[in-house]
């Protein structure tokens, strides 16, 4: 079985998608349509912008979404998944790719999501930290023991988890986790506590937008971040997308569940190769590749 997976925020780079724009008329049309929908030329920033410009909230999430979904269009019938999944933001790319959501509606939702998350970040100072080389259960117990908002945010792969919360809570967690033997526990350069209760204002805002957006039955199951389980039910998909903002991304569990359900080849669709590495660490027997390999 073939699984196609879609990356989230952090995978952006200057020049992303320029080859698609220049070599495929359909892709050029999609980029121009995106420029119109967003009200600014995001394609110019993607192709020529510097790192700071690409890090703008209104740019980063739509840019990664566009790279992934437009790459799917370029793949044509080489995109033939039995199942799909996306990491955080990548879940929206996966849902457009498997026809649960239109390209246009997906882009509008991603843009609204980015802006809602930015507002939530500005409402309260918060942050995230990566914890390497420690059992997930122990990380969970430390988070629970702290009298502040600190929660697991991303279960990325075995022995690699990201925690999210208030700055004071994260500082306490880093100190305790280091004391208890974590190989590394370091703050990340992010604007806020994504996938935590501090994103509740953004969740409320996104819920309204998602409920107003038509979703269809997908062409194949999507393994969702919230529960790491496959779904083909549009109502369940919508509810899980909303819950995702304040819940952890269960990527390790999703990877292992896809493998247990028969996935033998994972193709990453979008910028970078982060997900290939995470899946390989979760199960060394997994076969992974970039979508670029299918373009050869």
The tens digit of pLDDT for each residue in 7-66 reads: 998 888 899 999 999 999 999 999 999 999 999 999 999 999 998 888 887 899 999 999
CA 208 to chain centre: 20
231 in catalytic set? no
Q: Are residues 144 and 225 in the same domain?
A: no
Instruction: Considering only CA atoms, give the Rg of the chain.
Output: 18
Integer Cα distance of 270 and 273 in angstroms: 8
Residue 296 pLDDT grade (very low, low, confident, very high; cuts 50, 70, 90): low
Please tell me which residue in 88, 93, 126, 164 is annotated as part of the active site: 88
Q: Are residues 18 and 101 in the same domain?
A: yes
The total of other beta-carbon atoms located within 10 Å of residue 214's CB is 9
Integer Cα distance of 175 and 296 in angstroms: 48
Q: Are residues 63 and 117 in the same domain?
A: yes
Q: Are residues 251 and 281 in the same domain?
A: yes
Q: Are 183 and 132 in contact (CB under 8 A)?
A: yes
For range 128-136, the mean pLDDT: 95
Q: Are residues 49 and 95 in the same domain?
A: yes
> Beta 265-268 vs 2-6: how paired, if at all?
parallel
Domain housing 24: 2-122+197-295
Q: Are residues 259 and 140 in the same domain?
A: no
- What single DSSP character describes residue 196? S
Last-in-domain residue among 187, 214, 233: 187
Q: With 70 as the cut, is the pLDDT of residue 127 above it?
A: yes
Which residue has tokens 């945010």? Answer: 153
pTM listed for this prediction:
0.95
The CATH number of the domain holding residue 156 is 3.30.70.250
Q: Are residues 158 and 179 in the same domain?
A: yes
**165 Cβ neighbours under 8 A, 6+ residues apart:** 126, 127, 128, 143, 148, 149, 150, 151, 173, 193, 196, 198
Q: With 80 as the cut, is the pLDDT of residue 283 above it?
A: yes
The tens digit of pLDDT for each residue in 234-259 reads: 999 999 999 999 999 999 999 999 99
The tens digit of pLDDT for each residue in 194-225 reads: 999 999 999 999 999 999 999 999 999 999 99
Last-in-domain residue among 144, 167, 187: 187
Q: Give, for 162, the enclosing helix (H) or strand (E).
A: strand 160-166
The CATH number of the domain holding residue 233 is 3.40.366.10
Q: Which of 53, 61, 52 shows the shortest CA–CA distance to 118?
A: 61
* Count of domains forming the chain: 2
195 in catalytic set? yes
> Beta 150-157 vs 249-250: how paired, if at all?
parallel
Task: Report yes or no on 192 lying in a domain.
Answer: no
Q: Are residues 100 and 228 in the same domain?
A: yes
Report the mean per-residue pLDDT for the chain: 95
Last-in-domain residue among 135, 154, 187: 187
Q: Are residues 112 and 174 in the same domain?
A: no
Please tell me which residue in 67, 195, 254, 255 is annotated as part of the active site: 195
Question: Helix 90-97 to helix 103-123 angle, to the nearest 10 degrees?
Answer: 170
**In the prediction, which pLDDT does 82 show?**
97
């Amino acid at each position: 079985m073939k699984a196609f997976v879609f990356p989230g925020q952090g995978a952006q780079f200057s020049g992303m998608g320029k080859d698609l724009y220049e070599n495929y008329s359909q892709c050029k049309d999609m980029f121009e349509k995106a420029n119109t929908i967003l009200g600014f030329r995001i394609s110019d920033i993607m192709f020529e912008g510097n790192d700071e410009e690409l890090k703008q909230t209104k740019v980063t999430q739509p840019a990664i979404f566009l790279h992934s979904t437009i790459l799917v269009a370029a793949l044509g019938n080489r995109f033939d998944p039995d199942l799909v999944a996306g990491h955080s933001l990548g879940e929206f790319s996966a849902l457009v790719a498997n026809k649960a959501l239109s390209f246009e509606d997906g882009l509008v939702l991603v843009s609204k999501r980015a802006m809602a998350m930015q507002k939530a970040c500005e409402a309260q100072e918060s942050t995230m930290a990566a914890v390497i080389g420690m059992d997930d259960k122990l990380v969970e117990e430390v988070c629970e023991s702290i009298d502040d908002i600190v929660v697991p945010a991303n279960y990325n792969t075995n022995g690699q988890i990201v925690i999210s919360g208030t700055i004071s809570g994260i500082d306490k967690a880093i100190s305790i986790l280091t004391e208890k033997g974590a190989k590394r526990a370091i703050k990340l350069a992010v604007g806020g506590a994504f996938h935590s209760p501090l994103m509740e204002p953004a969740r409320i805002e996104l819920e309204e937008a998602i409920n107003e957006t038509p979703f269809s039955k997908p062409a194949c199951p999507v393994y969702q971040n919230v529960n790491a389980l496959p779904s083909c039910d549009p109502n369940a998909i919508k509810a899980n997308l909303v819950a995702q903002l304040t819940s952890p991304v269960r990527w390790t569990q999703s990877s292992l569940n896809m493998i247990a359900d028969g996935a033998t080849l994972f193709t990453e669709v979008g910028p970078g190769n982060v997900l290939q590495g995470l899946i390989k660490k979760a199960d060394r027997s997994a076969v992974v590749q970039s979508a670029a390999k299918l373009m050869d």
